[in-house]
Structure 1
Amino acid sequence: MTFASATWAEPHLNVVPRTAAEAARIAAATAPTTDFTKPEQFETHPSGAATKFDIRTRDAFSFASANMPFEREMDFKVGNGFFKKLWVTAPSSTVSSDGLGPLYNARACQRCHIKDGRGHPPEGAGDEGVSMFLRLSIPAEQSDLTEETLAYLGAAPEPTYGLQLQDKSIPGIAPEGQMQITYSEVPVTLGDGSVVTLRAPEYDVVDLQSGALHPDVQLSPRIAPQMIGLGLLEAIPAADILAHADPDDADGDGISGRPNMVWNHEFDREMLGRFGLKAGSATIREQSAMAFHADIGLSTSMFPEGYGECTASQTACRAAPDGNTPEQQNLEVSDQVLNLVTFYSRNLAVPARRNLDDPEVLRGKELFYDAGCTSCHTPKFVTDRLNDQAEQSFQLIWPYTDMLLHDMGPGLADNRPEWQANGQEWRTPPLWGIGMTQTVSGHTYFLHDGRARNLLEAILWHGGEAEAARETVRLMTAADRGALIKFLESL
């Protein structure tokens, strides 16, 4: 794979090229620190001037970029309204709100991204699991689709049920099935002799309504990720992300992060994947359109089918009334609405760091570096200078991600490919805001499927390229582990 700049162009961004002087300043600002006796300059501002201060409530992830011009605040608020909107079945008297389904996972974006935070797996029989779903696919060589068609898809759809299991539906149409999770215990002995018990999930689908799944179906559980800082991640120069890529591990450090190249439906071209748990989408706008399409069953200009993700074999689903009306560009979600939701999603602020000058936090930061965690969780970037996005333009940010795919070992594998990502690879998740998860979301479930019940469990699940870092943490003293966790909780 080549990393030519033309291949990784960003046509959705209006970028002002960097000067040589700016590049030198950026290299100095983003260089890894070697001084852990005090916080670094600007470390209080994880998202630069967009950082939101003095918010430690459940609404901490729901504020606009702090540097947003006043005249754009109304767009943010209206976009928030559409993000929270409960969609209804078509036809209805409110044509701007109908078109739900026929198959869906949630009636609103906010139902999955509760308080713009992290989803969780079902907690008992009464929990619908609305913030978690299953992706579906089959091995590409077993698909009846042509090679040309598969080139435009992230994976080969399951023939009957498509690329996602929808566990809810409108009246008269049966939901596709229900996700079932069973856990087994995995004890892990720490260096001091204490034992942590992890829970290993297994997934199945029950109550299938359209026949059996393909015998080689690939199931991938997905928790709704937190929404903060997305616009800043989108504004990281592709060249800076690719500079961290080492697909063949040329430097021999055991870390071989690589980019995901994906097909973008808006620009009809391959682009650098940034969003989703496997970096399967290139832009916030496309990611939003994909969520409307698969999660809620709503059409957009990128995915104009009024029947959502119903497959050709689901004839009753495809024949159900939809909300595509002339008033909405013959769509259920007009470009105006999609643009407002995109603007809202782009501008959810990252809250300020907390306790970063605490000696134990500083010690934990040093341990984080010494363990090699920054090999994937890259602390700092400077975003592109953008002509028409003041909030994201030229900001020093601290997301703690390299935005690349890494092999996390068989323990975390879903064994399902997505574009260039294989069944053991995941995009490095940003860590900013992770210490606010309990406050915002009311839980501390982590990883792609929420199997980890706290930060230590999440670390102990790391394998593959992260195995050496995991073992360093596993063998730490209790005091050092506590300092490391306290650092993560300060992010």
Structure 2
Amino acid sequence: MICTRRSTTISIAMTALAIAVSATAAPDCSQPQPGEALPGGSTTHHKQRNINAFSQSSANMSFENELNFKLGNGIFKKIWVPAPSSTTASDGLGPLYNARACQRCHLKDGRGHPPEANWPEDNAVSMFLRLSIPPQNDAQRQLLESGRAGVIPEPTYGGQLQDLAINGLSGEGRMVINYTETTVSLADGTQVSLRQPEYSVASLSYGPLHPQTMLSPRIAPPMIGLGLLEAVTAADIEALSDPEDLDNDGISGRTNRVWNSLTGQLDLGRFGWKAGNPTLIQQAAGAFNGDMGISTPFVPAAAGDCTTQQADCLIQPNGNTAQQDNAEASEAMVKLVEFYSRNLAPPARPDFDKPEVLKGKMVFHQSGCAACHQPTFSTATRIDMPEQSDQQIWPYTDLLLHDMGKALADNRPEFMASGSEWRTPPLWGIGLTQTVNGHTYFLHDGRARNLLEAILWHGGEAQTSRDHVIKLPVAERTALITFLESL
């Protein structure tokens, strides 16, 4: 068994369609591969794999840029307050919001988690519900078809449910999760319980939801390596796309095409659970506004996600000032957060060459996991991103959309992503989730309580790989998990 990078070449003859499929061979994956110990190339940090493992700057960063990284970290941790306030550089929170700081959701720059219980026993601070409805008229249909919008927001509550509000207002409502346990039997007789979530909203403050409302739960994803993913060329990502499954391998990954608000045109989606954002700056500005209600020059709505049906929300004072570019967070502040996010470095892999890890890597490839969790890329030459320029990286993602089957579907389209498609999440750092965040909840809504459960939820294009794992002997399954925990 050799590790391969999936590559498809299509040639069209003058009189007939000829399809040639080729794979570029890589070294034997039973052995360590060059660069594998450094997931982020030269950006990889070698500090301890402890609770701060996701909060380290790019190891190849210049001394001058370290200041920008620290300033960005300060803004990332900043606690925002309602306007008006004497601290004009920190006011403008809300009026409706999910968190008062970026760090509140991305605790230690890591992975969010579902609540342990429904409100009021617990608060879903690092998880929220996206809201949208199907298009209701020709104008909305045209908006979606043009790609200028990815969804039609719910008319009363907007694009996401904000459960918190400034004094004098009520949060929009509370997410309710009910789990049903189901059992999967592995070939060796092991019984694994999976929890199937069902989502609803209680304590709605502004009237009922639209009857066709689609709910999509999202936990905050980990922050490491984002700049490296932005530095991969669109051509390299698109080369892995095979929407018609022309190579007949059962994998039909495809790109999401999303609206780039800076260029005013469609672009390759890279970030978010459904690859709904093309750039880190757009991702950051959207989070400022949607999650915290903070206006920026990129998303100038001072009332955040308030809708015309929320009159009391729209009349609240805002924190826009000339000093902040007539917004609540200036362009410079957003760009510092972008710089910080871009330079959160993946940690080194000290156990990459251990026999049990190499055995698990073999199982990973034999199971077909690498067909979507593409191990490695080379980043582009980027003068504007010197740390991320010309690096060999090991993120274990193809950044493409894949149909993951009915069980994982949120049934909510986003741009070109269907209700059952998700972007392949990177796996680098996944074994440190417990260390950094104190839990092992995985997938877009944290339903999986460990890595094995996460694998067993895979369906659709990943069904064959999942079934292969079910049939594995205990020793090989254990080695597979050991490999994942080494990443």
* Range of TM-score over shorter length: over 0.9
Match of 2:134 among 114, 139, 142: 139
- Matches of 2:371 and 2:151, distance apart in 1: 29
Do the aligned partners of 2:455 and 2:466 also contact (CA within 8 Å) in 1?
yes
Alpha-carbon spacing, 1:144–1:81, altered in 2? closer, same or farther (3 Å): farther
- Matches of 1:91 and 1:340, distance apart in 2: 24
SS of alignment partner, residue 345 of structure 1: helix
Match of 1:87 among 80, 93, 116: 80
Q: Which residue of 2 aligns with 1:56?
A: 49
Q: CA deviation at 1:154?
A: 1.2
Q: Could you give the per-residue CA deviations for residues 59-112 of structure 1, whole angstroms, max 9, x where no partner exists?
A: 000010000011100000000000000000000011110000000000000000
SS of alignment partner, residue 411 of structure 1: coil
Q: How does 1:93-132 map to 2 (within 5 A)?
A: 93-124=86-117, 125-132=120-127
Q: How does 1:233-244 map to 2 (within 5 A)?
A: 233-244=229-240
Q: Could you give the per-residue CA deviations for residues 252-279 of structure 1, whole angstroms, max 9, x where no partner exists?
A: 1110000000001122111100000000
Q: How many residues align?
A: 461
- Matches of 1:32 and 1:481, distance apart in 2: 25
TM-score by length of 1: 0.92
Q: Percentage identity across aligned positions?
A: 60
Alpha-carbon spacing, 1:266–1:248, altered in 2? closer, same or farther (3 Å): same
- Matches of 2:393 and 2:61, distance apart in 1: 16
Q: How does 1:172-183 map to 2 (within 5 A)?
A: 172-183=168-179
2:203 pairs with 1:207: yes
Do the aligned partners of 1:261 and 1:419 also contact (CA within 8 Å) in 2?
yes
- Matches of 1:163 and 1:42, distance apart in 2: 42
Q: CA deviation at 1:126?
A: 3.3
Q: Could you give the per-residue CA deviations for residues 338-375 of structure 1, whole angstroms, max 9, x where no partner exists?
A: 01000000000000113111111101000100111110
Q: Runs in 1 of length 4+ with deviation above 6 angstroms? A: none
Q: CA deviation at 1:127?
A: 2.3
Match of 2:40 among 47, 56, 80: 47
Do the aligned partners of 2:30 and 2:361 also contact (CA within 8 Å) in 1?
no
Alpha-carbon spacing, 1:96–1:54, altered in 2? closer, same or farther (3 Å): closer
Q: How does 1:53-452 map to 2 (within 5 A)?
A: 53-124=46-117, 125-140=120-135, 142=136, 146-150=140-144, 151-452=147-448
- Matches of 1:36 and 1:396, distance apart in 2: 17
Do the aligned partners of 2:99 and 2:292 also contact (CA within 8 Å) in 1?
yes
- Which region of structure 1 is more displaced relative to structure 2, 118-127 or 478-487? 118-127
Q: Could you give the per-residue CA deviations for residues 286-322 of structure 1, whole angstroms, max 9, x where no partner exists?
A: 0000000100001111210110010111111011111
Aligned residue identity for 2:336: L
Do the aligned partners of 2:140 and 2:152 also contact (CA within 8 Å) in 1?
no
Q: CA deviation at 1:148?
A: 4.3
- Matches of 1:31 and 1:169, distance apart in 2: 54
Q: Which residue of 1 aligns with 2:9?
A: none
Q: CA deviation at 1:324?
A: 0.9
Q: Which residue of 2 aligns with 1:4?
A: none
SS of alignment partner, residue 28 of structure 2: coil
- Matches of 1:192 and 1:136, distance apart in 2: 42
Q: Could you give the per-residue CA deviations for residues 452-476 of structure 1, whole angstroms, max 9, x where no partner exists?
A: 0000000000000000000000110
Q: CA deviation at 1:31?
A: 4.9
Q: Could you give the per-residue CA deviations for residues 196-224 of structure 1, whole angstroms, max 9, x where no partner exists?
A: 00000000000001111111110000000
- Which region of structure 1 is more displaced relative to structure 2, 319-328 or 34-43? 34-43
Q: CA deviation at 1:329?
A: 1.1
Q: CA deviation at 1:41?
A: 1.0
SS of alignment partner, residue 360 of structure 1: helix
Q: Could you give the per-residue CA deviations for residues 34-53 of structure 1, whole angstroms, max 9, x where no partner exists?
A: 41342111111110000001
- Matches of 2:281 and 2:48, distance apart in 1: 27
Q: CA deviation at 1:32?
A: 5.1
Where do 5+ consecutive residues of structure 1 fail to align? 1-29
SS of alignment partner, residue 233 of structure 1: helix
- Matches of 2:125 and 2:384, distance apart in 1: 36
- Matches of 2:299 and 2:412, distance apart in 1: 23
SS of alignment partner, residue 410 of structure 1: coil
Q: Which residue of 1 aligns with 2:13?
A: none
2:38 pairs with 1:38: no
TM-score by length of 2: 0.93
- Matches of 1:305 and 1:37, distance apart in 2: 53
Aligned residue identity for 1:332: E
Do the aligned partners of 2:380 and 2:390 also contact (CA within 8 Å) in 1?
yes
- Matches of 1:253 and 1:34, distance apart in 2: 21
Do the aligned partners of 2:27 and 2:33 also contact (CA within 8 Å) in 1?
no
SS of alignment partner, residue 221 of structure 1: strand
Do the aligned partners of 1:143 and 1:156 also contact (CA within 8 Å) in 2?
no
Do the aligned partners of 1:51 and 1:349 also contact (CA within 8 Å) in 2?
yes
Aligned residue identity for 1:179: M
Q: CA deviation at 1:33?
A: 3.3
Q: CA deviation at 1:229?
A: 0.1
